Amino acid sequence: MGSEAQELHFLLIPLMSQSHLLPFTDMAKHLAERGVSVTVVMTPLNALRYESVLDHARTSDLDIHFLTLPFPCKEAGLPEGCENADSLPSSDLITAFFDASNMLQGPLEKRLEAMEDKPSCIITDICFPWTTDVAQKFGLPRIVFHTISCFTLLCSHSINRSKVMERVKSDDERFVVPGLPDKVEFTKAQLPQMMKDGPEDLEELLDKFKAAELSADGVMVNSFEELEKSYVKGYQKVAKKLWCVGPLSLSPGVDSAKLDRGNKSSIDPNQCLDWLDSRDPKSVLYVCFGSLCHVSALQLVELALGLEASHCCFMWVIRKGDHSQELEKWLSEYGFEERTTGRGLIIRGWAPQVMILSHPSVGGFMTHCGWNSTLEAVSSGVPMITWPMFAEQFYNEKQIAQVLQIGVSLGVQRPVEWVEEDKVGVMVSREAVQHAIGRLMDEGEEGTERRLRVKELGKAASQAVAEGGSSYFNLTLVIHYVQQMLSRKKSTSRLMRHY
């Protein structure tokens, strides 16, 4: 890319949520590796969480910086320190969290006005329609970045455009999404909250997101063409310009990048590696439900009993907060860790997931189907047990279990709303957990074929981000596109001065 790219300065504006911050900071590394100067908008507490990104940049001689803006918790009615979606004490505060995020526009504009090295372009989260105004004010190209798949984007677009939901009478009635390359069915209950007949302000927000995407100079997606070719083609008809640049979790830098993504690990990575090293190849099931999923204590106990009954080796990540006190009490009284000693390891808090999934002893992943986790499993060639909980996770489950056929579904029919996890109780029985583990880890024909499919996709993922691969090429196209737009702008301003 050379000296031309070194003149470029990209400003990245992520939503302050782990599922968005991770791919944005990963993208910063990929861009910086190509000689681009990158600034990522952060808030103080998130900047501390992601300090390792800057450490990695310094040791690797990458030009990555944070532009830190105070997060207006008080003004938006949030408790002090709620700078990340995973720190919200209640789902009632989600609207206030978005309000606070939207209040960043003014402070960001002030910082941009004072900045000597102005950005060459903005790469923004889809959640920030106001970046349209910022880009216009400073005369910058604006690219929207999606942290979800083309499959999900096309499903959502097709459901909206066809108005198929108007014919669906109940939450549990199945309907086929029209216009897709595969026959894909959902129930109304499984759709993200914004897609349902919800409050008008949510519908308005969705319309704003769509308008901001359509007015952007281009759209980047954290996926790769070989994973979902027909869905990439389908969404290319919707977006002005579409570039798949993932999986961004496959870091272009050194292996230590596997450890420094997101929060500080709650376990010594060496202890984690020693435990995995002592297991047979493909024998361990990794269990983790991300940073935002809320699961009741009763359901977690049922999961624990299913893990015990499976007789499978497992590594189980239990996030802090929520119902961890109730669960810990049960784990202690039941003697769960003693009963599964030698084949089970519990990690309390944050785990180095990319490192774990890429370890040879890991043969399966029980997941909430967040897109980051899905891509990390695919990149490592690890098949999945799907347990979607909310947002676009039911879309991802369909893609994993049905379209790509690299996972086993637990058969969850309804999402778990944040405030209702206790009311719902147990949605997945210990028997269902045991049965799914047996199917996934089975070495018969079905299990072998599934593992081969995901292994091939893992190879394709690595090739996509390597030099000459589809995602590498697409990132080159993004950089060239911004260069061309800047050249045209300079030519136009020279002509204006001439006349």
DSSP notation for 170-202? STT-EEEPTT-SS--EEEGGGS-GGGSS--HHH
Which residues sit opposite 220 in a β-bridge? Answer: 145, 243
- Position 257 in a domain: no
In the predicted model, what is the mean pLDDT of residues 149-177?
94
Q: What angle do CA 422, 426, 431 make, to 5 degrees?
A: 160
List phi, psi (to 5°) of 386: -95, 130
Express each pLDDT in 353-372 by its tens digit. 999 999 999 999 999 999 99
Express each pLDDT in 98-127 by its tens digit. 999 999 999 999 999 999 999 999 999 999
- Position 356 in a domain: yes
| Same-domain check for residues 480 and 357 | no
| Same-domain check for residues 159 and 296 | no
Q: How confident is the model at residue 251 (pLDDT cuts 50, 70, 90)?
A: confident
Express each pLDDT in 463-499 by its tens digit. 999 999 999 999 999 999 999 988 887 766 655 555 5
In this structure, of 33-42, 189-198, 225-234, 443-452, the range with the lowest mean pLDDT score is 189-198
Which tokens is 204 given? 């308005």
| Same-domain check for residues 445 and 472 | no
| Same-domain check for residues 288 and 222 | no
| Same-domain check for residues 131 and 238 | yes
| pLDDT at site 319 | 82
- Position 28 in a domain: yes
Q: Which domain holds residue 280?
A: 265-462
| Same-domain check for residues 206 and 337 | no
| Same-domain check for residues 31 and 148 | yes
| pLDDT at site 257 | 46
Q: Write out the DSSP string of 241-275.
A: SEEE---TTS-SS-GGGGTSSSSPPSS-HHHHHHH
| pLDDT at site 254 | 46
Cα gap 342→327, rounded to integer Å: 21
**Which of 192-201, 265-274, 275-284 shows the highest mean pLDDT?**
275-284
| Same-domain check for residues 222 and 84 | yes
- Position 428 in a domain: yes
- Position 410 in a domain: yes
Share of the chain above pLDDT 90, in %: 75
**Pairing outcome for strands 174-176 and 9-13:** unpaired
Say whether pLDDT at 1 is over 90. Answer: no
In the predicted model, what is the mean pLDDT of residues 237-244?
93
Express each pLDDT in 274-293 by its tens digit. 999 999 999 999 999 987 77
Tell me the Ramachandran region of residue 116: left when phi exceeds 0, alpha when psi lies from -120 to 50, beta otherwise. alpha
Express each pLDDT in 31-90 by its tens digit. 999 999 999 999 999 999 999 999 999 999 999 999 999 999 999 999 999 999 988 888
Question: CATH number of the domain that 87 lies in?
Answer: 3.40.50.2000
Q: How confident is the model at residue 256 (pLDDT cuts 50, 70, 90)?
A: very low
- Position 123 in a domain: yes
**Residue spans of alpha helices (H) in 335-444:** 336-339, 353-357, 371-380, 393-397, 421-424, 430-441
- Position 259 in a domain: no
Q: Let me know: does 261 contact 351? Beta carbons within 8 Å.
A: no
Which tokens is 392 given? 């676009």
- Position 384 in a domain: yes
| Same-domain check for residues 196 and 312 | no
**Mean pLDDT, the chain, as a whole number?**
90
| Same-domain check for residues 404 and 488 | no
| pLDDT at site 38 | 98
Say whether pLDDT at 413 is over 50. Answer: yes
| pLDDT at site 182 | 97
Q: What is the DSSP letter of 78?
A: P
| Same-domain check for residues 181 and 243 | yes
Say whether pLDDT at 2 is over 70. Answer: no
Q: Let me know: does 314 contact 285? Beta carbons within 8 Å.
A: yes
Q: Let me know: does 223 contact 250? Beta carbons within 8 Å.
A: no
| Same-domain check for residues 290 and 388 | yes
Cα gap 168→189, rounded to integer Å: 11
How many domains in the chain? 2
Say whether pLDDT at 321 is over 80. Answer: no
Say whether pLDDT at 192 is over 50. Answer: yes
